[in-house]
Amino acid sequence: MAKVTFNEESCKGCGLCVEACPKGILRLAPVRINLKGYHPAECADMNACIGCASCARMCPDVVITVEK
């Protein structure tokens, strides 16, 4: 099973990772806001992650780590 982690305090909530996810399991946190004032990205269903790292490759701020 793959594990996706986000450096939430550095995330600017651009949504590029959400669009890049082929499984559609990433989203911008609907309630949480980081110290910069953005809704950070999060994985809604970690068990569905296939570890493709498309999200990490799309992130312009390199805040995503994918472990297989």
Q: Give residue-wise pLDDT tens across range 27-49.
A: 999 999 999 999 999 999 999 99
Enumerate the domain spans of the chain: 3-67
Greater model confidence, 68 or 10: 10
Distance, first Cα to last Cα, the chain? 6
From CA 1, how far away is CA 32, in angstroms rounded?
26
CATH class of 3-67: alpha beta
pLDDT score of 63 = 97
Full-model pTM: 0.91
